[in-house]
Amino acid sequence: MFDLAAHPHRRLNPLTREWVLVSPHRTKRPWQGQVEKKARAQLPPYDAGCYLCPGNERAGGRWNPPYTGTFVFDNDFAALLPATPAGSFEKAGLLVADAEPGLCRVICFSPRHDLTVSRMELGQVRQVADVWAEQFAELAAKPFLNYVQIFENRGAMMGCSNPHPHCQIWASHSIPNEIVKETNSQLAYLTTHGSPLLDDYLNLELASGERLVLENEHFAVVVPFWAIWPFETIVLPKRHVTGIDLFTSGERAALASILKRITTRYDNLFETSFPYSMGFHQRPTDGAAHLEWCFHAHFYPPLLRSATVKKFMVGYEFLACPQRDITAEAAAARLRELSERHYLEEED
C-alpha cells in the first residue's frame, strides 16, 4: 500500500507544475531535537558603519535622514534602471535578449539595527505592512512596470551581509519566470474549476490541518504539500485578494501579526536568528485584473537540522529535480509545537 509517510514519491507543485522528489524512508529516525546554543551575537541598536541606520552615509555621498519608523529609498546599486532604452537582440532564435527597464528600492523596517521582524513591536511590523501596500500601489500605477517583487533576504547564509531589518523591491517591465509559471497555472485552474487555485488549496489545508502551522482571522501559514526547503511555508489569505494593495486595514494588521508569529517560531526552531528568503507573490501590474491571482507569501529557509546545518541544492537537484527527506507533514508538526514566545525573551 502506497504511503506518503514511508515510500519514495514525487509531489506536484500546482503553482509551477514542477515536481519535488520526497524520500521519507531516509528519515525513519525520530526527531533528535538538536539545538546548538549559539553565542548570542549582540548587535548594537545603532551601528555607525551601517549604511541603513538613521543619519548614516550611504554609497555615493547620500545620507539617511534621522528616521524613526520605516524609511524607503531608491537602491544605490539598483539591478534595474528606469531610464533603460527599449530594445532587443535576436539571432536564429538562439541568442535572445530584451532591454529591461525597472526600478529597485529598499525599505528599512525600523531604525533599530539589532531587530528582526520576529522581535520588532507588532505596531512597527504593522507600519511595514502599510508601506508594502503603499509601495505596491505606487509602483503598480507606473505604466512601464508590469511586476512588483517585494522580498526580504535575511541572514548571511542567504547572502545578506547587513543585519539591519530591511527588504527590497525590484519592479520590472517584464514578468519574471516564477510569476509567469504561477500566472499560467492559476489561470488554467480558474478556467477549469471556476475558482482560484490557492483558495481551493487553502480550503483543503484548513480542512485537513495536517500541514497547517498557524492561523488567525485573515491568514493561515502552511507547509505546502510540495515544499522543497525543509521548513518552507506559504502564507495564504482567507479572502480572495490579488494584491497587497487590496487588503483592508484589519487584514494588513493580521498579515503583520502572522508574519511576526511565523518568524518567531522559525527563530525558536534552532534558537538562532533564522535565515530565509521571504517574498510576496501577487498579480502582475500590467493593467489586467488577474482574478486568477491569489496574493501569497513564500518563506524559503535553508536550515535543515540546526543553526548551522543547511540544505544544499546540489547534484541531483541542480541537474534533475529538487529532493527532500523530511515530509511536509513532519515539518509542519515540528513548527506547530514551537512556542511563540521568542527564545531571547525567555532567557531574560
Q: Contact positions toward Zn ion, by CB under 5 A? A: 47, 50, 52-53, 113, 164, 182, 196, 199, 240, 281, 294
- Residue 172 has which C-alpha cell? 520590472
Residue with the three cell numbers 493561515: 220
Q: Which is nearer to Zn ion, 53 or 254 (CB)?
A: 53
- Residue 17 has which C-alpha cell? 507544475
Confirm if 303 and 155 have CB atoms less than 8 A apart. no
Cα–Cα dist 292/240, whole Å: 9
5 secondary structure, DSSP code? T
Q: Per the residue annotation, which of 113, 166, 218, 281 is the catalytic one?
A: 166
Q: For residue 343, how many other CB atoms are within 10 A of its CB?
A: 18
Cα–Cα dist 49/53, whole Å: 8
Query: What is the Cα 141 distance to its own chain's centre?
Result: 23
Cβ burial of 41 (10 Å; 0-12, 13-18, 19+) is exposed
Q: Which is nearer to Zn ion, 199 or 251 (CB)?
A: 199
How far apart are CB 255 and Zn ion at their closest, in Å?
14
Cα–Cα dist 20/306, whole Å: 23
Confirm if 237 and 219 have CB atoms less than 8 A apart. yes
Closest CA to 226 of 23, 9, 12, 25: 12
Angle at 344 between CA 338 and CA 348, to 5 degrees: 120
Q: Which is nearer to Zn ion, 14 or 196 (CB)?
A: 196
Q: For residue 132, how many other CB atoms are within 10 A of its CB?
A: 23
Confirm if 20 and 11 have CB atoms less than 8 A apart. yes
How far apart are CB 37 and Zn ion at their closest, in Å?
26
Q: Which is nearer to Zn ion, 182 or 267 (CB)?
A: 182
Give one DSSP letter per residue of 30-44, joined into a string: PP-------------
Q: Which residues pair with 149 in a beta bridge?
A: 170
How far apart are CB 153 and Zn ion at their closest, in Å?
15
Q: Which is nearer to Zn ion, 162 or 306 (CB)?
A: 162
In what order do the strands lie in the sheet containing 9-13?
Answer: 9-13, 18-22, 323-324
Task: Examine the residue annotation and report whether 166 is marked as an active-site residue of this protein.
Answer: yes
How far apart are CB 223 and Zn ion at their closest, in Å?
14
Sign, CA dihedral 108-112-117-122, equals negative
How far apart are CB 47 and Zn ion at their closest, in Å?
5
* Radius of gyration of the chain, Cα coordinates, nearest whole angstrom: 21
Q: Which is nearer to Zn ion, 145 or 278 (CB)?
A: 278
Q: Which is nearer to Zn ion, 164 or 311 (CB)?
A: 164
How far apart are CB 137 and Zn ion at their closest, in Å?
19
How far apart are CB 240 and Zn ion at their closest, in Å?
3
Active site residues: 166
